[in-house]
Structure 1
Amino acid sequence: MEIKKNRIYTLQSIFTMAHRNLLKTLHNPDHLMDVLIQPIMFMILFGYLFGGAIAGGVHAYLPIIVPGILIQTILSAASGSGTQIKEDMETGVFDRFKSLPIARIAPLAGQLLADILRLVIAIIASLTTGYFMGWRPNVAFGWIIVIILLSVFTGWAISWIYVFIGLMAKSATMVESISLMTMLLLSFLSNAFIPIDTLPKILQIIANLNPMTHVITAIRQILATESFSNTAWIVLLFDLGIVIVFAPLAVWTYNRQS
């Protein structure tokens, strides 16, 4: 009975911290921009700027760019985890949490739980913007849900990496710099916006090694074939591997610092 009460208490603490982090996102323009404004802005900007040059028109370019912007969006949304964790540590909020009657793991778990909802908002913003621009996926709605779930799990797995970076970094500014650099490299050195075969040979090799290339390919294959392709299974296993490696590292580092 006592164990059950402790579990309920821990879950309540985690949900409370998740609610706190969501409110923090909604009331912080920088964090809100990552999950809502940025995907809308990039979808419109890239679609109308590059659609004619790359695919001959915006509508022909949308099947290429929608999965690309989707992955760029989850990278940006996931990177906010490390920044928020570090900001709380720098402002002394974590010290305050230590004095509260909450489960020790609640601040970290609450952040990762809130990230799931942040990722869902960011993904829906990307897909909705693409739809209003004329993107019409030729698949059943259930496969759109599959794409959303795969993207959310990928983003959530990446969140563990950024949380670990946030716990190890010296400042929130450093986390933001690392996040921006990795987001740009992973999204632009991939097949997100252009066909890989148009790149120089050395960049083709880098792009083919880029994990985001395979995530984008998996999404495009699902949209094209209405099936969970081998690439999608590989992406799922890779995401699981990230969680298995970085979740214990993040929790261990968090416990040492808290």
Structure 2
Amino acid sequence: MNHTASKIIADSIISKIPELTYYYPPSQTSPPFLTNPLVQAGIPTILYETYMYESASVTSDLVNKLISTVDSYNFGSSTNSSGTISLNSIIDAASRVKAYVDINGVLPNYVTIGTTQYSMSSFLYLLSKAIVNINKGLTSGISPITVASPSNPSGAKVAGTINKANYTDIALRVSNYIAANVQAPNYASSTLGNIQFQSLVYELSKVLNYLNANGVMPNTLTINTSNPSTLNGGSSSSGNDSSSGGNSSTNSSLAIYLKATKKL
């Protein structure tokens, strides 16, 4: 299966072994009997295939290099030596933010990636930049920046569906704005109307949550800024914290959604 999150790991591993390549043949016969059962059983697996006429000595040398590289690869790490955050960690965080909003009706104050808590404004930068990079086929990590809250979040009541080109364009404009101003935008314009800051975080989190579940980004994104009705400033029994740019909350019973998930 052509799974983006898996390819990110594969690209990182083979970058240390120039002789190897990531290969995804258009026609395949083995997945139903090998790859799919392993995935369905939840068994983390790296498959290594050789050329039919490859010499035993070459195969042995490459296998040993692969084993050594995999043994030293930190699958649970959120950041690398350069201080960037891996795309897989951002994808995982997006799924947790979406789950929190679905249950709580408002944004959390922060999301934890590794051992660091990121405000929703700082996370919006990581989120939008990740979508832009993944759309370009880039798998490198993203350098985090400290982002100020939006000055006055506002937007229209938006309901409708936009295509991939539309939401990746929104992500590009948002990431560029934040990089230039070191502050989250109050809203982002779209073909459906202006999308308020809180809904931006939620809707772009939905994109990466879909990727997390399906291995690819969605072809379309359905937006309804009135659902949940409390997201963009409506009342919520969980509270309100203006430090995150509008309605946000960190309900202690839901804090589990904000902690980093360990993945192999």
Q: Is the structural similarity TM-score above 0.5?
A: no
Structure with greater strand percent: 2
Q: TM-score, normalised by structure 1?
A: 0.26
Which one has the largest radius of gyration? 2
